[in-house]
């Protein structure tokens, strides 16, 4: 996954998380933060810590852009207790998750053992 640099929050408050969409698009482009594909249809404002598990609804630091597929696949599996178990493209160096052999990505098995 390519690293995502959102920078500082461009807003003080927003009323609903969907209002963050143009800010996210401007800061990181309309690409899925997970699969990196351009989002050609409906980009989804994605919550790093799921909103149903206590994640902040409108805090810039809890928001990314996701495609419909990745957002559904991630589902509501992240909580304030387990979000450190994952690599996040706006916080971690996600380039270490894969190695490339002959042009194909391969999961970095060493990373999974740490
Ligand atoms: Zn995606």
Give the per-residue pLDDT at 15.
96
Q: What is the CA 78 to chain-centroid distance, rounded?
A: 12
What does the DSSP 8-state code read for residue 36? -
Identify the residue with better confidence: 26 or 102.
Answer: 26
Cα 69 to averaged position of ligand 1 atoms, centre (Å):
6
Asked whether residue 114 carries a pLDDT value surpassing 70, the answer given is no
Considering only residues 96 and 46, tell me which one the structure prediction assigns the higher pLDDT.
46
- The three-class DSSP label of residue 62 is helix
CA of 57 to the centre of ligand 1 (A): 20
Residue 72 CA to ligand 1 center (angstroms) comes to 9
Tokens of 101: 């052999």
**For 8-34, what is each residue's pLDDT tens digit?**
999 999 999 999 999 999 999 999 998
Under DSSP, the state recorded for 33 is: T
């Amino acid at each position: 996954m390519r690293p995502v640099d959102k920078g500082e929050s461009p807003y003080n408050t927003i009323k609903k998380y969907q209002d963050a969409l143009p800010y996210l698009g401007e800061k990181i482009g309309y690409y899925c933060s997970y699969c990196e594909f351009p989002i050609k249809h409906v980009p989804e404002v994605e919550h790093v810590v799921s909103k149903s598990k206590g994640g902040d609804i409108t805090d810039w630091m809890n928001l990314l852009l996701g495609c419909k597929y990745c957002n559904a696949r991630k589902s509501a599996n992240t909580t304030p207790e387990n979000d450190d178990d994952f690599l996040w493209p706006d916080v971690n160096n996600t380039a270490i998750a894969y190695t490339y052999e002959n042009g194909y990505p391969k999961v970095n098995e060493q990373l999974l053992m740490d």
